[in-house]
């Protein structure tokens, strides 16, 4: 059965399946479906597999995300069916499974053509490819030694790739011709810190040093051990508070992903003080504005806790983006990962660039801040760098 499993997984991973049909029940007495047909479908822009389970004249459909499709197919082939016809873009596979689970696979020329929007090989081009073992992903338990991503780690794999796409987009904005200094504030278990090191130092062969900083001593000790094991000798992990970190004079890129509340602001302030060329920040929980916002006009919205919380979080990010604009950054807010995985999915990407009309931007910012009755931490922290005499008390 292992070779069959490998074949099914390879077909699903390569996204070449056109249709599959499973038949011939292993046990006729079993009250179960008599046949299952499978085809790829796109739902909300994502590849799924539609399983049609036939019981007499009835058919029940289930749409299964691609990460779970191979597992479901193998479960059916192990327990229920002894015959399968799997049609892919490359070949048709006629599968026979004996009563004693001996598998024979006959490979024939393809008889089915791909059709519609799923016609083309839709394999997503990730920065890190599945099938190619990457040492840090293997060590972190995201891939196995053969490079296969574990089903329950697929979201993490996608998040890492999404993050690296964002980094890829700003490569040209980083200084060249000298080693880079990068800090990851609130690095936690450091999946993304290791990813950044792998991508920049190992793959792109950039000379650099990266510091990961976090409050949690045990987590940092574990990350340090892993960096040693991987031979990532320019990746250091330190225990400390973002607001008190004063080790470096100059930093080229600051990353801060899901650091809590105003820890994100402390990180942004440090980045601005260093004149970092690039800032990548995904804020986490945001409590500061929630306690400050006060405006009668907004009371229909602010009187509902859940709406007030969401609104405060969005307003906080708008304020951060505008303040970064005001101190000389071109700032974008991007979707980090799908909303369905976490609502904390906005990435602030700021790239140092010449500023436009600061006075007009300041007026816009101050009007927004005053309307909300907000006294943002970041504005106070950036005092002296903002247009003179306007910071809040």
Ligand X SMILES: C[S@@+](CC[C@H](N)C(=O)[O-])C[C@H]1O[C@@H](n2cnc3c(N)ncnc32)[C@H](O)[C@@H]1O
The reply on whether position 283 binds ligand X by CB under 6 A is no
The reply on whether position 269 binds ligand X by CB under 6 A is no
The reply on whether position 72 binds ligand X by CB under 6 A is no
Question: For residue 269, how far is the Cα from the chain centroid?
Answer: 25
Residues 357-392 as b or e (16 or more Cβ within 10 Å = b)? eeeebbeebbeebeebebebbbbebbeeebeeeebe
Which residue, 40 or 283, is less far from ligand X as judged by CB?
283
The reply on whether position 192 binds ligand X by CB under 6 A is yes
| CB 345, CB 335: distance < 8 Å | yes
Q: What is the DSSP string of 122-137?
A: -----SSPTTS--HHH
Q: Kindly write out the interface string for residues 77-106 of this chain, putting x where it contacts ligand X by CB under 6 A and - elsewhere.
A: ------------------------------
Which residue, 191 or 329, is less far from ligand X as judged by CB?
191
The reply on whether position 280 binds ligand X by CB under 6 A is no
Strand partners, 97: 103
Identify the H or E element spanning 348: strand 346-352
- Span interacting with ligand X, options 28-36, 134-142, 184-192, 297-305, rule CB under 6 A: 184-192
- Span interacting with ligand X, options 49-57, 102-110, 185-193, 318-326, rule CB under 6 A: 185-193
The reply on whether position 263 binds ligand X by CB under 6 A is yes
Question: For residue 352, how far is the Cα from the chain centroid?
Answer: 24
| CB 290, CB 316: distance < 8 Å | no
Which residue, 41 or 219, is less far from ligand X as judged by CB?
219
Beta carbon of residue 188, minimum distance to ligand X (angstroms, whole number): 2
The reply on whether position 258 binds ligand X by CB under 6 A is yes
The reply on whether position 210 binds ligand X by CB under 6 A is no
Hey, is 261 helix, strand or coil? coil
Identify the H or E element spanning 72: helix 66-79
Q: How far is 267 from 173, CA to CA, in rounded Å? A: 20
Binding site for ligand X (CB under 6 A): 186-188, 191-192, 213-216, 241-242, 257-260, 263, 284
């Amino acid at each position: 059965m292992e070779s069959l499993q490998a074949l099914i997984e390879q077909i699903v991973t390569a996204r070449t399946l056109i249709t599959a049909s499973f038949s011939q029940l292993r046990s006729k007495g079993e009250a179960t479906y008599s046949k299952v047909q499978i085809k790829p479908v796109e739902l909300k822009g994502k590849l799924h597999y539609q399983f049609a389970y036939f019981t007499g004249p009835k058919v029940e459909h289930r749409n299964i995300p691609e990460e779970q499709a191979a597992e479901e197919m193998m479960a059916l082939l192990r327990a229920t069916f002894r015959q399968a016809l799997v049609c892919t873009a490359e070949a048709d596979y006629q599968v026979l499974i004996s009563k004693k689970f001996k598998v024979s696979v006959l490979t024939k020329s393809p008889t089915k053509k791909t059709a519609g929007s799923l016609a083309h090989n839709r394999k997503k081009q990730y920065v890190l490819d599945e099938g190619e073992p990457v040492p840090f992903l293997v060590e972190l338990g995201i891939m196995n030694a053969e490079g296969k991503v574990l089903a329950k780690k697929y979201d993490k794999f996608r998040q890492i790739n999404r993050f690296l796409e964002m980094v890829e987009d700003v490569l040209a904005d980083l200084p060249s011709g000298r080693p880079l200094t990068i800090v990851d504030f609130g690095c936690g278990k450091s999946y993304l810190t290791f990813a950044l090191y792998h991508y920049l130092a190992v793959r792109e062969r950039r000379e650099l040093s990266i510091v990961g900083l976090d409050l949690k001593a045990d987590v940092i000790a574990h990350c340090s051990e892993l960096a040693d094991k991987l031979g990532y000798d320019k990746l250091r992990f330190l225990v400390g508070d973002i607001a008190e970190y004063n080790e470096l004079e100059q930093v080229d890129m600051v990353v801060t992903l899901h650091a809590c509340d105003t820890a994100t602001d402390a990180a942004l302030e440090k980045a601005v003080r260093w004149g970092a060329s690039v800032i990548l920040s995904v804020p986490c929980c945001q409590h500061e504005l929630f306690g400050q916002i006060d405006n009668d006009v907004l009371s229909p919205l602010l009187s509902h806790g859940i709406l007030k919380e969401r609104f405060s979080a969005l307003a906080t990010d708008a304020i951060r983006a505008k303040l970064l604009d005001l101190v000389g950054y071109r700032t974008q807010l991007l979707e980090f990962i799908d909303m369905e995985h976490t609502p904390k999915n906005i990435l602030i990407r700021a790239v140092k660039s010449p500023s436009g009309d600061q006075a007009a931007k300041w007026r816009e910012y101050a009007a927004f801040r005053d309307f909300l009755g907000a006294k943002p931490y970041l504005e106070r922290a950036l005092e002296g760098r903002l247009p003179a005499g306007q910071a809040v008390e």
